[in-house]
Structure 1
Amino acid sequence: MIDIEFACLFKTSELIDDRFKNSHFPKINAPAIAFPFLQSLL
């Protein structure tokens, strides 16, 4: 078994408000965008 901790940093010039934090991006879209980068390391 392998335990992996992986972090991805997304930057924006826009204000990050509660509407954004409660949207699909932080919980669904961001991990989907970051996953191929993790997969390429394995």
Structure 2
Amino acid sequence: SDAKTLEEVVEEVMQVKLSERATRLIDGDKEDSMEKKKKEGYF
């Protein structure tokens, strides 16, 4: 981001078409992926 003021940040956020989670890799995983990660000790 190039925003330097609060107003610029708000303007950028208002123009974004994707949700904040839309580009997270983990959110593209299968439904059971969180359970699998728990079993593997991921968290």
User: Given the two structures, how large is their TM-score scaled by the length of structure 2?
Assistant: 0.25
More RCO (CA 8 Å, sep 6+)? 1
Q: Which has the larger radius of gyration?
A: 2
